[in-house]
Structures are given as structure tokens and as C-alpha cells.
Amino acid sequence: MSIDLGGKTALVTGSTAGIGFAIAQGLASAGSTVIVNGRSADSVSNAVERLRRAVPDATLVGAAADVTKATDVAELLASHPRVDVLVNNLGVFGAVPALEITDEEWSRYFDTNVLSAVRLIRGYLPGMIDAGWGRVLNIASDSAIVIPAEMIQYGVSKTALLGVSRGFAKAAAGTGVTVNSVIAGPTHTGGVEDFVYELVDRDLPWNEAQVEFMRLHRPQSLIQRLIEPEEIANMVTYLASPLASATTGGALRVDGGYVDSIVP
């Protein structure tokens, strides 16, 4: 199976590290021009340089913007008015006892995990429809389905993102544009390492801490380890390609079997 995204341009939000960086690398390796996004110019510049080393022949564009802000989204759309692939990867998560989640915290999670995606889809989907081809991919989470007791604000925001994906897929019906969610399971990133150490003994070496976290907090995982970001990127790269032309309105799992369901 050969994935060729030559001639396509992809925007990946929150792509300076973690899953977003891996997705940017996967799309660049498949030949896409990749717009690398982060909040600060320095983080974007550093990510672009790392990607150039990883994919020497890549075409990369830096775009510093806080996509949780409508003003920054407007500027991003003005600078890059058309893309073929939009990957809404930006997200925040963190453990907070359910009864201690404030209104402000609920709003922050929805602004970041839901409304940032909605604004960008609203901005880019019309151009994709006019072109008769496009891909929108929203990075969701197993927490959208298995709401974690320690961060229900995160889980609920990701549940909403599944609905956003299905709704916009209907808006793009019959146009050649697909809209899907990717349900990422517990994944090994720097942010997740910090999260793990919020829940297990900080004195444990990382390998032991990871095992303890999975045993205590994610025992449903069938692979019994954290997923590597590249494993999420592989699914995204496929869904961004012409090979996935009949897959739309879906929520596709890269969760290590964490969600206890036979339905994708």
C-alpha cells in the first residue's frame, strides 16, 4: 500500500510536540506540504527544524497562532486560506476532581478541544467542498467513550468532538470531502508522562511508572502499554490519503483495545 500526498497541503494544529508532531512528520513523509502550528514562534521554528532533520525533503511552513482565539484563527485563515487536509490535534487534559471543576475550567476545555476545531472546519471546509476533495481529521480520545473519573471535563469535551465530526461529515456529504475522528488511546507523550506522575509514585523510574499507571488506571488496555505517537500518525496519514475515500463520519480507534467494544 503506497500513500502519496504529493501536491496536498495539510495544517496540523498543536504540531510542535507529541502526537501532533508525529502526525506532521507522517504527512510530510507521504509528500504533503505541512503547515506546522503552535502558540509561539519559537516552538514552531524549533519543530520545523526537527522535522527538516527527520524528513530532509519535506516542504514545511511555520504558522504561529493560538487557535483557541478567534482573532488568531482569522489571521491563520488569511495567511493560509486553502488547505487540503485539516488535522485538529490541539487539546488539553489534566486530572481534576469532578466536583472541583469550575465554570472557567469547563469553558477552557471546550474552547480548546471543541471550538478551536469548529472554527477551523468552518473556515476550511467550504474551500475543500469547492475543490471536490479534502480531509478533516479530529483527534479525539478513548476518554470520549470511557469518561475517566479523574478528568470528566476532558472526556466530555472529546465526546462533543465526536459529534462535531459526524455533523460536519453530513454537511460535506457527496462532495468528495471526508470528515472523521481518530480515537487515540493512552499515548506516550511528554504531557502524558507528567499526567502519569500525577497519579503514581513520582519516585518510580519511568518504565515502572508506566506499568503502574496502566495497571491501576487503564487496566482495560489490550496491549498493556502506552501507544507511541507514530502509531496514531499512521492512522491519520492513511485517513488523509485518497485510499480512505469511502471512510467518513467515522470514529476510528487507535486505542490499543482500551475501549471494550467490538464496534469501531
- Name the 3-class secondary structure at 32: coil
DSSP 8-state class, residue 149: T
Listed residue (258, 159, 150, 153) closest to 195, CA to CA: 150
Buried/exposed 101-129: b ≥16 CB within 10 Å, e otherwise: beeeeeeebbbbbbbbbbbbbebbbeebb
For every residue of 154-214, DSSP letters joined together read: HHHHHHHHHHHHHHHHHHTTTTTEEEEEEEE-SB--HHHHHHHHHHS-TTS-HHHHHHHHH
For every residue of 48-61, DSSP letters joined together read: HHHHHHHSTT--EE
Q: How many helices (H) and strands (E) does the chain have?
A: 9, 7
DSSP 8-state class, residue 113: I
Q: Which residues pair with 63 in a beta bridge?
A: 37
154 as an active site residue: the answer is: yes
CA dist 59 and 229 (Å) reads 21
| Cell numbers describing residue 11 | 495544517
Q: Which residues contact 147 (CB under 8 A, 6 or more apart)?
A: 155, 156, 159
CA dist 28 and 215 (Å) reads 36
Q: Check 109, 124, 154, 258 and give the catalytic one.
A: 154
The catalytic site residues sit at 154
